[in-house]
A and B are shown apart, each in its own frame.
Chain A
Amino acid sequence: MTEPRELVVISGKGGTGKTSVVAAFAALAGGAVLADCDVDAADLYLVLDPDVGPPHDFSGRQQAIIDPAACTACGRCAEVCRFAAVLGGGADGYTVDPIACEGCGLCLRVCPRDAVGMGPVINGAWMLSETRFGPLVHARLGVAEDNSGKLVTLVRKEARETALRRGLPLVIVDGSPGIGCPVIASLAGADLVLAVTEPTVSGRHDLERVLQVVRQFRLPFAVIVNKADLNAPLAATIAAETTAQGALFVTTIDYDPSVTRAQVEGVDVITYGGRAAAATTEAWEAVREAFGRELVSVPATEERVES
């Protein structure tokens, strides 16, 4: 079995159309494993109507728990905690704020009465579901939870193992907006990073920042400008800048209300049809061709980030 290849779709700015593009690619690929790594706002399942698999608990960290019977309220734990996670004091003793606690365990180590223990926090769940286009690994992060990066890593690993098990050649990852931990966790080891942007001043600015991260990882990347007719001159500028950086400029997709209508109907744009379907099909052909040939690695500007 050959190693499955992995296409990671990101954007920098949110709301540019990543998920709609990924759902369309799923329809066109015919047999890819899908991984929804936007664990804060996992929307891919809404247009793929999956048969949802059983949830598996995800525990990304430990959390301190203070035993009120053993606590003498000496306050040493609160003194050393850098996350302001130890609350209370006085007669009521101390408790741990589960949202603020990062699980470092320093309170446990300094407590003179061994009144602090650590316990795993269940901060999410992941599922392996079946869609009409192939398996979907998706997750939900508990609200107000940390560790989205670890959950992203887990979703990618499960997607890859599913591809190996079923002999499927491709994993398509729907990534998060931004440049922080969930994005970094979705990038390492990707075969191709596809950024979906829009021709707005913020779309361009955010793309530039996220592509710097991609370059630090020395990963090949490609760019789609979605809703291109909102500002055609800026779309052309972004296309030129992409090419100047040695990346693949895939195509532009014009704004098309059928993208939202498809979403309202709970289907992907290919199944729904419309102008965007044709443009997205063209984009998919270009991305598939890029996978087929030897991709030129992008020169890195700085040292690779380990994370």
Chain B
Amino acid sequence: MRIAIASGKGGTGKTTLAVNLATLLADEGVKVRLLDADVEEPDCHLFLHPSAVTSTPVSVPLPVVDEARCTACRVCAEACAFKAITLVGSTVLVFPELCHSCGACSLLCPESAIREEGRDTGSVETGTVSTPSGHFTLVTGLLNVGEAKAVPVTKATLATAGGADVVLIDAPPGTSCPVIESVRGSDLVVLVTEPTPFGLNDLRLAVEMVRALGLPAVVAVNRMGIGDDRVQRYCAEESLDVVLELPNDRRIAEAYARGELLVDALPDLRAELRAAWKRIAVAAESAEVTA
């Protein structure tokens, strides 16, 4: 079962839900794998402290020009839709930051003067997290600082999804390309929001996104009581199941601030998280049946 945890708005509690659910399930003997797909700002490890971490670089193909063979025919520059390869006089210049690694230049070069070499843009870190009576695997996608394109690192992180009964994915905020890569292929998306106008606006966008992708979704509302009831009314109108309501409790915010798991700092919340997981699992299974 593959569950993505996403949100339109940032800072609503995606990571909180992901790290606590993974810990709770692993503790109950479920074979869990948590993928931190927020590769720009991955934070799960700050709460989980994985050990025995191994790192695999993520590289993207980048054209390299053999000047001895190049006849400055300009075919590569004309083929590149991203202006990532160009000619200045008879010298070919490549701009790595603009390259989408589509392979057009190397394939179309009539002199076979362009080959591709890997360029590292991030890494995938795999480690083991110990819980009081179990353990699970945390996979963290990490985009190198200064790199603009998150998607190759997201894809490499998602490619490690196999080999577990439950795969949880902590997606980045928003609705654009890195988010889509993170949620695609999931059985269910849990959209985390807060009951505020910003939370509602961004939830609407996230719901539009999952519907465009044809993915079933449920909602988790964090900081209940902080704003108004428009998020609940919207969920009722749109027939979206609300699987969890976490209160606006300062103790939760303070535990999070210190980097503590809620299941440790506020054990009272375990029952609520366990009930939320049951609703998530049921929704994911019924979605599978419908599909």
Contacts and interface: CB of A to CB of B under 8 A. Distances in A.
| A, B co-complexed | yes
Interface of A: 11-16, 19, 40-41, 43, 46-47, 62, 80, 82-83, 99, 102-106, 109-110, 141, 143-146, 148-149, 176-185, 198-203, 205-206, 209-210, 212-213, 216, 227, 230-231, 234, 255, 257, 260, 263-264, 266, 302, 305-307
B173 interface: yes
Nearest to A17: B11
B68 interface: no
Contact of A62 (B81, B174, B180, B198): B81
Given A201-B46, A216-B145, A305-B97, A41 B173 contact: yes
Given A80-B103, A264-B196, A14 B11 contact: yes
Contacts of B46: 201-202, 205
In this complex, the interface size class of chain B, counting residues with CB under 8 Å from chain A, is: 35 or more
A181 to B, nearest CB: 4
Contact of A178 (B40, B101, B198): B40
A210 B41 CA distance: 9
B41 A266 contact: no
B108 A109 contact: yes
A264 B102 contact: no
Given A106-B102, A201-B46, 15 more contacts: A41-B202, A83-B102, A104-B100, A104-B104, A105-B104, A146-B176, A178-B172, A181-B150, A201-B259, A209-B145, A216-B145, A230-B250, A263-B197, A263-B198, A307-B97
Contacts of B198: 19, 41, 43, 46, 263
Given A62-B81, A231-B257, A260-B196, A144 B175 contact: yes
B256 A200 contact: yes
A15 B11 contact: yes
11 contacts: A13-B11, A14-B173, A15-B11, A41-B10, A105-B81, A106-B79, A106-B103, A145-B176, A264-B197, A264-B227, A306-B95
Nearest to B38: A178
B212 interface: yes
Nearest to A302: B146
B258 A106 contact: no
B15 interface: yes
Contacts of B205: 40-41, 143
Contacts of B108: 106, 109
B189 to A, nearest CB: 13
Given A82-B103, A180-B40, A143 B146 contact: no
Contacts of A201: 43, 46-47, 257-259
A110 B107 CA distance: 9
Interface string B241-261: 000000000100110111100
Among B97, B104, B176, B257, which residue has the most Cβ atoms of chain A within 10 A?
B176
B79 A144 contact: no
A231 B143 contact: no
A46 B197 contact: yes
B226 interface: yes
Contact of B143 (A105, A180, A234, A302): A180
B253 A206 contact: no
B135 interface: no
Contacts of B15: 202
B178 interface: yes
B175 A40 contact: yes
B209 interface: yes
Nearest to B60: A82
B190 to A, nearest CB: 17
Given A14-B11, A202-B43, A231-B254, A181 B173 contact: no
Nearest to B40: A178
A16 B198 CA distance: 12
Nearest to A184: B148
Contact of B43 (A102, A106, A205): A205
B149 interface: yes
B286 interface: no
Nearest to A105: B81
A201 to B, nearest CB: 4
B41 A263 contact: no
B208 interface: yes
A273 to B, nearest CB: 18
B82 interface: yes
A307 B146 CA distance: 9
Given A205-B46, A234-B257, A306-B95, A179 B228 contact: no
B11 A181 contact: no
Among A16, A143, A234, which residue has the most Cβ atoms of chain B within 10 A?
A143
